[in-house]
Amino acid sequence: MSASYSSIPPTPVLGQGAKIAGRFTIQRAFPAGSFGQTYEATDDRTGKRTALRLIPAAQVRDKEDAERVRTAVKAAAGLIHRNIVGTYGIGQEPSGDMFLTMEYVDGQHLRALLERRVAANKRFSLRGAFNIVAHVCHGLTHAQSKSVVHGSLSPYHVFVGRTGRVKVAGFALSRILPSLHGLSADMRTYLLGYMAPEARGARGAKLDARSDVFSVAVMLFELLGGKPRPGIVPSAAALPESVPPGVRKVIETALGHAPEQRPASAAEFEKRLSAELQRLGEIEPADDDLRLDVEVDLGPPPEGQPANEPSIPPQPPALTPVRIPAAPPRVPGGSAPRLPAVPAAVDISVAPAAAGGGAAGAMLRAAAATSRGSQPPGRGR
């Protein structure tokens, strides 16, 4: 029988200068997220910043768990899109601790921004809420085109960069989080507030694009002033009176208890919401590159850190760098250029120390599968 969540001791937070796999130098720890501890780190081989999530061995207890994590990470690494936080690689140290390397995003997760607005007694405007949701939908549309479902999308998995770019995170571990050890009871309860009814069921439940549509609708409900409650499907009737009836209807449909009651995809949900906001005069038709139109105070960047990040993920750190412009030119008609092909995953395995206490080495193995990054149909964001 597995240990209870409370029996797993808290993981000490690593300090600045600590090394992971003899290659990544810890710079600082981020606030605790849904699972494991995430850090800003420097890849000593390339000098580039990366986000590194450390998963203690106590939370991945056997080979089956470890293999499920690796499989999920490789699927997430194939998602190359400007509205998705890039996943680079997975590794394991001799201690059994696993680590995941990801794109570093200079910004904050949506949960923090929501809490700040609630504290100031402010709400997002219709256009501001749409901008966030539209970016999320574009990331999900790309994932859905690759048959990848997030499964536990929440404001903790949506990041807003200093440029206003919105990125979805968590594809690597979201589907398997509920069955891994170490997820706190508070976080589990919080995530339930955004999960579709079918996602709250037994392990292995059938999820599809409509499950993620439900989660996006709950986030939109919250952005417009609603208050999600764990395990209870929100009612559009609980939204503030200032939310127009047509917008309420779009949200209500996406919150259908049964998947067949909801829009079939994130793209369809965005299309319906966009049409309603155009009808209300909140947005213009074919508004090609929306940014947040609300004031988002992320605070000053850490000393020596640039305020802006590229809107397209850099190449995985284990590969020869390929120069990618931060703002690629638009193609007439609203389509976006294709991104360069990159390996679907990089497996970073750490060799055991040699006799006599030699330092652990890092062996990198590129996954055989490759994935070509492309924008989803419609307007690029």
- Which residue ranges form the domains of the chain, and what is each CATH number? 12-103+310-372 (3.30.200.20), 110-169+188-279 (1.10.510.10)
Please give the model's pTM, rounded to 2 decimal places: 0.74
Amino acid at 65: D
DSSP 286-331: T-TT----S-----PPPTT--S---SSPPPPTTSPP----SSPPPP
pLDDT (0 to 100) of residue 287:
55
Beta carbons of 89 and 255 less than 8 angstroms apart? no
Residue labelled with tokens 């400007």: 82
| Residue 174: closest CA among 160, 194, 368 | 194
Span 33-45, pLDDT tens digits? 556 788 999 999 9
Residue labelled with tokens 């206490």: 357
- Count the neighbouring beta carbons within 10 Å of the beta carbon of residue 56: 19
Ramachandran class of 203: left when φ > 0, alpha when ψ lies in -120 to 50, beta otherwise = beta
SS3 357: coil
Instruction: Report whether pLDDT(317) > 50.
Output: no
For 354, list phi and psi in degrees, rounded to 5. -70, 160
Lowest-confidence segment of 45-49, 172-176, 364-368, 374-378 by average pLDDT? 364-368
Question: Beta strands 166-168 and 158-161: pairing type?
Answer: antiparallel
Span 211-223, pLDDT tens digits? 999 999 999 999 9
